[in-house]
Amino acid sequence: MITAVQMRDRFAVVTGASSGIGAAVAERLAAHGVHLVLVARNAGKLEEEAARLSRRHGVTVHAVPLDLATADAPTRLAKTLADLGIEVEVLVNNAGVSTRGPVLDGDPARFRSVIDVNVTALTELTALLMPAMVARGHGAVVNIASTGAYTPAPYLAVYAATKAYVLSFTQALWAETRGTGVRVVEVSPGPTKTPMNSHGTRTAEAVASTVFRALSGNRPSVVDGCTNKLITSLFGKLMPRRFALAIARRVMARSGA
Ligand SMILES: NC(=O)c1ccc[n+]([C@@H]2O[C@H](COP(=O)([O-])OP(=O)(O)OC[C@H]3O[C@@H](n4cnc5c(N)ncnc54)[C@H](OP(=O)(O)O)[C@@H]3O)[C@@H](O)[C@H]2O)c1
């Protein structure tokens, strides 16, 4: 576990911090006196957010515009952090993109960029930044997956598969690094109202609260919200996979995916 007091006056890196859940997590960390490095593609939005958080909470905030779908983005970010002399206490791998529709109608290049952001960048950033935390004996890595990680999702196939990777990877990493003093946790939001999902029922702020609670706990993975917990248990564990798939296919087809 890692407490708010342990994070205060240290640095957190939040990817995908320009909107939605990432912005809400950044706000929550800043409100607890945590300095920030915000990462996303939209430089203008990121600078605005950095200035606002710094003014409002009196913390240091660096905006680092980066496209995490590019191959060298994680190493460039690690170099920028080293050049700034920043020791990362908390890494929040939140940046994520989605793609909807039948796989056979999809654009292979788009599939690649979804995998690059959701899987490759998250994995590389963890591998680049976590060893220093382990060497110091404290820190935290939070990886944002999705309730879609718990069962394959027809018409959201690539997205859900990337999130299943995040869930599996983070749980394995949690087991590998127990006893190092570094908190590793995966957090799965369900439908949340953000620019990614205008039909979401949870708020980004509620998810940020779950992330905060997850940091101070010990479990390898946490699902946000009671309904989402119920749904992931039902679809991911209790229901036979072919029934879960048949229901998911029907629901997704009806939603116009
Ligand atoms: N909203 C939901 O219903 C929901 C449900 C389950 C899981 N999630 C997960 O929650 C996380 C946050 O999503 P959200 O709903 O808050 O979506 P969002 O508001 O669209 O935020 C996504 C963030 O990722 C950044 N991003 C996207 N592509 C990027 C790239 N190539 N390089 C760097 N940054 C990039 C975006 O900024 P730029 O566009 O400026 O790059 C933005 O800051 C994602 O991992 C998502 O999969 C969301």
Per-residue pLDDT, 84: 97
Helix (H, G, I), strand (E, B) or coil at 143: strand
C-alpha 166 chain-centroid distance: 9
Per-residue pLDDT, 230: 95
118 CA from centroid of ligand 1 (Å): 9
Sheet holding 35-40, edge to edge: 61-65, 35-40, 11-15, 88-93, 139-144, 182-188, 221-223
At 2, phi and psi to the nearest 5?
A: -135, 130
Per-residue pLDDT, 2: 84
Per-residue pLDDT, 3: 87
C-alpha–C-alpha distance, residues 36 and 9, integer Å: 10
Please say whether the beta carbons of 187 and 210 come within 8 A: yes
Give the closest residue (by CA) to ligand 1 atom 19.
Answer: 20
Which CATH number goes with the domain that contains 22?
3.40.50.720
Render each residue's pLDDT in the chain as its tens digit; 257 residues.
888 889 999 999 999 999 999 999 999 999 999 999 999 999 999 999 999 999 999 999 999 999 999 999 999 999 999 999 999 999 999 999 999 999 999 999 999 999 999 999 999 999 999 999 999 999 999 999 999 999 999 999 999 999 999 999 999 999 999 999 999 999 999 999 999 999 999 999 999 999 999 999 999 999 999 999 999 999 888 888 998 899 889 888 877 55
Its domain, for residue 143, covers 4-254
> Which residue is listed with tokens 């205008």?
198
Please say whether the beta carbons of 147 and 228 come within 8 A: yes
- Whether ligand 1 lies within 6 angstroms of the CB of 203 is answered as no
Count of structural domains within the chain: 1
Per-residue pLDDT, 60: 98
Helix (H, G, I), strand (E, B) or coil at 68: coil
Give the closest residue (by CA) to ligand 1 atom 25.
Answer: 16
Q: Which residues are catalytic?
A: 159
Per-residue pLDDT, 193: 97
Amino acid at 94: N
- Whether ligand 1 lies within 6 angstroms of the CB of 166 is answered as no
Per-residue pLDDT, 253: 80
- Whether ligand 1 lies within 6 angstroms of the CB of 32 is answered as no
Per-residue pLDDT, 111: 98
